[in-house]
Structure 1
Amino acid sequence: MTGTIEYFYTHVSPWAYMGHALFIDLAARHGMTVEFRPVNLGGVFDASGGMPLAKRHPVRQSYRLIELQRWRDKRNLPLTIHPRHFPADPTLADCCALAILKAGGPVADFSDRLFRHLWAQEGDLNDRASLEAIATSLGADGARMLADAESAEIKAAYAANQARAIELGVIGSPCYVLQGEPFWGQDRLDLLSDALESRREAYKPV
């Protein structure tokens, strides 16, 4: 199969972090183009009935912590359960990824580094010096990235990603959309792989 997978994610999502490298590899193995769509989940939750973490029932918050430990071990990734700079506003980091994308830079590697910066190294996604240094280390123009991230064009692209997510029925991060069919969560990567290998038609709501 050849085609496109729309990849909706935000850098404050530990689940997106745990699935990121596996997804990028999966898409490459199947010759798929990835459309990177960093997204603000606020409007997505509002449209789909989801709840931001701080507003979820304590039982659900506790279960999330158990799942993080399970999947950290399953994926064999370094992950701090309570990073020092979480929760955080993801807007700047997400828009930096969009700026890297606009410039034709290594957005997959940049997002990987941002995930690790927050979830493995307890870094601050709103520290401009860190964001610039990460971009520069990947051969991108970090200063230009930061300037572009706050431009009207990038802000419009970020808003458009949210609107697109709502249109496609995305309900959280990460979500991989193949031929209009959403696969929500890094624990659905096996199902996405099955769909790519079988070349079946997309499932639709019935």
Structure 2
Amino acid sequence: MAISPTVLTVDYFFSLLSPYAYLGHAALLSVMREAGTRPRYRPVRIFELFAANGGLPLGQRAPARQRYRLVELQRWREQRGLPLNLAPRFFPVDIALADRCAIALVEAGHDPAGYMDAAFRALWAHDLDLADPQVVARLLGGHGFDASAVMAVAASQEVGNVYDLNTQAAIAADLPGLPGYVLHGEPFWGQDRIDALRAALISGRAPYVPD
């Protein structure tokens, strides 16, 4: 179903490769429901975002940052009450197919939230390979979608163009990484900023912008 232009939306930038996007997914949707707001799902080419805005792929980060990431993931895993494997078998992985399927669902007017949750869990809890078309097809089929049709659209140039546009929009929003949520042009980087996003939505305050 198309989103009414009168309904406030929040740009939800993510990649199914991101453990932090997984940890924040359900929490974000809960805040959206509470605030009477809807997410605009925008999968992003995460490594292009890193290259443009100063982020680094995990293997290129300083050892201290890599160790701290593991501590943070354990904290948030406990706080969110979600299963999360700190060292999944298939990570990093080429996430393009899984991300593009989310775009294909959005472009067809479907809500991708359930598929996204299943895909996040496939990678981060169940040690499945999201680069494997058979795995992605099962996830789509498990949520009532015609997997062959969705994957055909996902392979199209049109979906590739949307993937590129989403990535450029995330770069332009000054997001250093994912997930990122943008409300009235104000960026909220990281699932640990969901409470700040909620406060902005509930209060209706004007967006903060760089001086």
Superimposed CA distance per residue, residues 16-41 of structure 1 (whole angstroms, 9 cap, x where no aligned partner): 00000110111122111211000011
Q: 2:52 aligns with which of 22, 47, 65?
A: 47
Contact kept? 1:88, 1:125, Cα under 8 Å: yes
User: When the two structures are superposed, what TM-score results if normalisation uses the length of structure 2?
Assistant: 0.94
CA distance in 2, matches of 1:129, 1:70: 33
Q: Secondary structure at the match of 1:155?
A: helix
CA distance in 2, matches of 1:33, 1:84: 33
> Equivalent residue for 1:183?
188
Contact kept? 1:2, 1:30, Cα under 8 Å: no
> Equivalent residue for 1:94?
99
RMSD over equivalenced CA pairs, Å: 1.2
Describe the shift of the 1:116–1:85 C-alpha distance in structure 2 as closer, same or farther (beyond 3 A): same
CA distance in 1, matches of 2:132, 2:108: 21
> Equivalent residue for 1:73?
78
Alignment: residue pair count:
206
2:45 aligned with 1:57: no
> Equivalent residue for 2:158?
153
Unaligned runs of 5+ in 1: none
2:123 aligned with 1:123: no
Q: Secondary structure at the match of 2:199?
A: helix
Aligned residue type for 1:153: E
Superimposed CA distance per residue, residues 37-70 of structure 1 (whole angstroms, 9 cap, x where no aligned partner): 0001122112211111111011110110111111
CA distance in 2, matches of 1:155, 1:178: 25
Unaligned runs of 5+ in 2: 1-5
2:81 aligned with 1:83: no
CA distance in 1, matches of 2:132, 2:86: 20
Q: 1:136 aligns with which of 137, 141, 147?
A: 141
> Equivalent residue for 1:5?
10
Consecutive aligned runs of 4 or more in structure 1 exceeding 4 Å deviation: none
Q: Secondary structure at the match of 2:127?
A: coil
CA distance in 1, matches of 2:194, 2:40: 16
CA distance in 2, matches of 1:6, 1:187: 16
Contact kept? 1:42, 1:52, Cα under 8 Å: yes
CA distance in 2, matches of 1:123, 1:43: 24
Contact kept? 1:11, 1:111, Cα under 8 Å: yes
User: When the two structures are superposed, what TM-score results if normalisation uses the length of structure 1?
Assistant: 0.97
CA distance in 1, matches of 2:178, 2:56: 13
CA distance in 2, matches of 1:43, 1:130: 25
